[in-house]
Structure 1
Amino acid sequence: MWWILLCLSVASIECTKNYMNICMVGKHQKSEPGREDELHNQCTPWKDNACCTANTSIGAHEDASFLYNFDWNHCGTMSSACRKHFIQDTCFYECSPNLGPWIQKVSSSWRSERILDVPLCQEDCDQWWEDCKDDLTCKDNWHTGWNWTSGSNRCPSGAKCKRFREYFPRSSDLCEKVWSNSYKYTTLKRGSGRCMQLWIEGAQNPNVQVTQYYANLRNRAVASPPATLVLLVLLLVLLSREV
C-alpha cells in the first residue's frame, strides 16, 4: 500500500499553487507584473511592480473612465474626498500583483477572473465610509443593475439618490457590498500583516507580506490530506496485511 501514500503526496504537491506576484486575467491587467515608471498620481505606489500600464492608471482617475465607462457622478458630482477612495480602489484592483489568494474564475463578457473577500484593514474601510457617507448614490451594489442604455451607468428606473450612509449604514456595508464582496471588512489593523491596505505609504509595499501569509495558509490546507482520507489509507493498509 505504499503506492497509495505516494499518490496522496503527489496529489498534494500538485494542488499547491503559486499565489505570489501574479496578475488577474482581466480587461486591462497585464499578463505579468513589472516596472511601470510612468504610473499616474494615486497609482504610483505600484510603479516598481505593477499589473497595470500608465494608460490604465490615467483612466483610473477620470470621472467617466474609458476603462469601464463607469461614471462616479451618477447622482451628482461626487466629492473629491470620496472620489479619491474609489480612485485608490481602482488602482489597487488594476495594478496590484498581490491579490493571488483571492482571485476567482468567472464567466463574464469583460473579465475571466475577479477578486473575492480580500481582507481590508479596518482603517482603510472606516476612512472610505467616513469620507463618502454624505455623498449620493442610488444603489448599494455597483457591479450590477445599472441602466447602460446611454453608454455609461445610470440609475435604474425607480432607484432614488440618497446619502451613502442610507445605502451603506456601516463601513463594513460599503466595503463588502459596493463591489459584491470583492472586499471583506475586518477589525485587523494596518501593520498586523494580516490585512490588505488600499493606501500604501513609503517604499515598502506591506501587502506582499500579507499575501504571503494567506498563500501559505491556502497551500498548507491543500497539502495536508483530510483526516478521514488518512484514516481510510491506514485502514486499507491494515486490511491488506490480514489478507
Structure 2
Amino acid sequence: MSRKVVRLTLDHLDEITAPCRSCVFWQLDPVRRGRVEQSNGDAADEVDAWVSTVLREWGSCGRVVLVDGVPKGFALYAPEAFLPGAASFATAPVSHDAVLLTQVYVAPDARRGGLGRMLVQGMARDLIERGGIKAVEAFGDTRGDPGWNTKRPPRDHPRGSRCVASVEFLSSVGFKTHRQHARNPRMRMDLRSALSWRDEVEAALERLIGVVRPVPKPTTERPTRASLRQRLRPRGTPRAR
C-alpha cells in the first residue's frame, strides 16, 4: 500500500467526498454564508472559488493524502485574511506571525493509520520551505470527535463545528494551547520545532544510510611496474618515450 502527501489542486476537490467538502464555514462571512444557504446555492462551488483565489494570491493552501492513488484525507490552511469565518471564535484573532489550519479530514475507513499526522507534517514542510512564517495556529474543539460518520453532528456540536479539529488530535500532532477556552482554545505549533524535527529525521536517515552502505572492497589487482612509475613520477615530468 502506497501513501503520499501532495499539494491540493482543484482536480483533487472533485475527488474528495468528505462531509466538509461543501462546508463554507471558514471561507465565507456569516452574511454571505446565509445567502448561499437561503438560495440553495452550491457551496462546493464556493469552496472551489475560494481555493482558486488563494492559490492565485498566496499560493498552495492545502495538502491531500493519497492511498494507492485515491484521496483519503485533506487539510486546508491559509492566512487569516482569507478566512472570515475565524472571526466567530472567542479566541480570535490568529497571531500575526502564523497561518491558520482550518479543516483536517481523514476518511473513516483510513483512520488510526497516521494519515492525519502526515497531512500536518506535509503542511509544516511546505510552510518551512516558503520561509517567513513562524507558526501554524488552529481553533480546537474540546468536545472531541465531531461525528463524521453521521449525517448531522451531535446536538452538543453546533453548526459549523464539524469543520473544527478536536483538541485531542491537534495535541497529538504537535500543537499546544496558546489561548485557553472552555470549548475552542486556540492552539499553536511553532515551525521551529517542526524544523528541528525534520533535521533530526534527516540526520537519522543519513546515519542509517551510512550504516547500511557497503564498504568498498580492497582491490586484489597487483600493480605493474609501469603503474608504479606513473605514481612516483613528479608532476610535470614528461613521459619517457
- TM-score, reference length from structure 1: 0.30
Which structure carries more strand by proportion?
A: 2
